[in-house]
Amino acid sequence: MPTTNEIVRDALIAARRDRSLVETASLPVPTSVGEGLAVQAAISGRLGLSEAGWKVAIAEDGTPVAGLMPGPYLQPGDVYEGSIGAELRVEIELGLRLARDVPFRPAQPYSRAELLSYCDKAFLGIEIVEGRLANWAGQVAFPLWLADALGHGGYFIGPDLDIKVLDDLTGLGCFISLNGVTIYDKPAVHGNGDPMAPFLAWANRKTDFMTGLRAGQVVTTGSLCGGVLSPGKGEIVTKLSPLGTVSLTLR
């Protein structure tokens, strides 16, 4: 009989290929964060997904985790095509681009300043979260969510920002509207306080389930507004005030 990991792997591969959804309740749950990462790695390998970027995070137990972001990578003004029936969430984020490979070296932890020296630019990024899981309503066992690459759907790369913006979020605000109606307007807040915390934790991971951090990849440091559910499709305007704006279309 297939194992839990094989069942989850095959179901999520089929959903990605068919642009369809899997009922969350129909899937078993990987037994740990490590197993979730292993399933994600197996899916990426089977589908030959592009290792263009990573979304990094810290699990509730303190384990550093990451989701592969193969794209699509879009520019402001472009259209994001969602799967039929999928919930789409919008996240305003600070992203970084790697200028050099970041070697895996668990015996020699990176400092925050050293890790930043591997990056050549910061930018305003907008992630569209579109998991392959149906009827999850924002609640799903974390190892299963991790197997689904933390729900990555697509990514809009907005204007360049001064890299020092990661040092202090004070005075920044997040705004999102859909078809001219405000759906979010609150101060920017990062779940770990410092946007670099999850990136630093992942760079200093002790076990390398996934492939490495490579030059040219982008790393998104986590949402500054949580995952804002879009109540419909249409024209989205996002702002990280006073630093930049990204407009896009959900369809």
Q: What is the structure's pLDDT at 76?
A: 96
Residue 60 pLDDT > 80, yes or no?
yes
**Residue 157's closest CA among 83, 101, 102, 219?**
219
Q: What is the CATH number of the domain that holds 102?
A: 3.90.850.10
pLDDT digits (tens, 9 = 90+) for 64-77: 999 999 999 999 99
Alpha carbon of residue 150 to chain centroid: 6
Above 90 in pLDDT, residue 57?
A: yes
What confidence score (pLDDT) does residue 209 get? 74
> In total, how many domains does the chain have?
1
The residue-averaged pLDDT of 160-189 equals: 97
| pLDDT in the model for residue 138 | 62
Q: What is the pLDDT of residue 84?
A: 86
pLDDT digits (tens, 9 = 90+) for 131-158: 899 887 667 899 999 999 999 999 999 9
Which residues span the domain enclosing 19? 4-250
Spell out the alpha helix ranges (H) of 28-140. Answer: 33-47, 112-117
Read off the pLDDT band of 237 (50, 70, 90): very high
pLDDT in tens, 196-217: 999 999 999 998 877 889 999 9
Tell me what the pLDDT averaged over the chain comes to: 95
**Global pTM?**
0.94
Q: CA–CA distance from 229 to each of 75, 85, 87, 191 (Å)?
A: 21, 13, 7, 17
Q: Is the pLDDT of residue 109 over 70?
A: yes
Q: Report helix, strand or coil for 172.
A: coil
